[in-house]
Structure 1
């Protein structure tokens, strides 16, 4: 059985594929969900078969047809959630911290301790950033490398939150070495590009090198220090770049979508950048995400349509009005395209 989850506003739709039919069930806040005025960060199926839906204010778990809620009234202290991940040991990491913007957080003194709360063997265990080497209130992003090391982006502001002029936030990269179990905090002075603490995505290549994709540059960590990716004839990173989507294909190539519309790619050896010169329509272009077809074609979903990569250097646009999110391909090889006017489903030459 394969579960599909679609999110929009305050509703959760779960489609369960059955033999010869598809059954859709709609869950709302009336179904004992924590969905009222909340942002859904994502969902995953846990090892015990339960479905976890993570929002910025709590966690909803569905098991044996019943929903349960975990929030600040139970195990998450006062903090709101900014990020999450499931590691290789099936532990659930919840990154939390202050729920407020800089102004309300500092001025009204409602700034809560930032840290991670780890779910392991039925118990929640908190670890605050102060114990990791730096006292900051928000966990923005988390990543586990193939060797078991943990990387965490911690800062004084929520992800994608604007900063007032003249305000320099406290930001750090936190590293947990799996061999020693010790945390190391890396600050701005340790990183080779301006404001590169604000990491939006992580990527690990086949050699185990971990890359950090930030608004003001891409760099990697190797032999105890950081190294920035320099400009080349085929790669020019726009400063700043707001990375809003990422995708790792079947060949472990990394694809990044940014605003203004630009696509970055790493094939394991070289970084490349694609702009309007490569067929992208920058005006009203919002890169929702990427997918890979059964014949290994890469398709990017954008506000102004679908873009298919030709395998060389060009993106071919299929204009679709009011596209509202990332498309995906199901296990029947059907293409699902979400638009503001409805859902388009393509099955070969047939379209519904």
Structure 2
């Protein structure tokens, strides 16, 4: 038996799947760790080696996020000798969050080895109703845009497995163990299930709520708050004036009809990653109504405001991102160049979002055919 997991693989009493399986005397042969590792201690885009961590002494571990793009898929030999592969990882409902890509890649390899995959489903923590964004254009596929999903897809891991099989065409032998009693309109904190940090920079459910938009800041030279206690809530750079930036964010939100958020001018001091050990001017994003908030629109509003605040020093990230040099990071995240080119041309965030609505509606029936709840 194999198990792909991280710290989120717990029951409602916080007992981990590894302990539950071993307590039942089930033969656990091999563990697989997604990005950040089985223990979720590695920062983003940091390779993890096989055998990392001591979560299950004596059990072989395989990293599904190493130092090469090839490491994102397991070797066929790692699945071929398994009777079954269990998958128990909490997703957060956004295309760029790489755990769903890992599930798809595992299914692709399992289809070649004939290894059955059992997905232990969990709720979409930011609810399973709201969907936002655009689909991926040809040539913009990557680990953060592996399969044709919108930025916020409103699906569970089990539903994504069904989508990968039915729509994408991955012919793996998949069984989905469904959640019991989940209402897809609810958020995780409205269920009996606990929030467990799935990665170092996803500390709270509120962070997950804004991530479908605020992850776009990764595609710029702004700090997205990594190296602070408020990743994705803190946004800024050493050259930004907090008051001016907050004013532009507020105006952009008003013009876009963005509700459910407030912007507070701040200074912050990242300990690592972008602008490490430098005082940054910026804003803190406060969620005042998570159901009314549109996180993708929020991210576009902040991007537009940052560019307006200092067009000379604002820049798109050009370093290698998730093993890819070109297209650049913002285009990989967005699945196309449309958002970047639109912002550069002065297209408003609301116009961008509204322009994607027709393709979102065309995609909706494909999604609905795979829903389990």
Instruction: State TM-score, norm by structure 1.
Output: 0.26
Instruction: State TM-score, norm by structure 2.
Output: 0.25
Point out which structure has higher relative CO (alpha carbons under 8 A, 6+ apart): 2
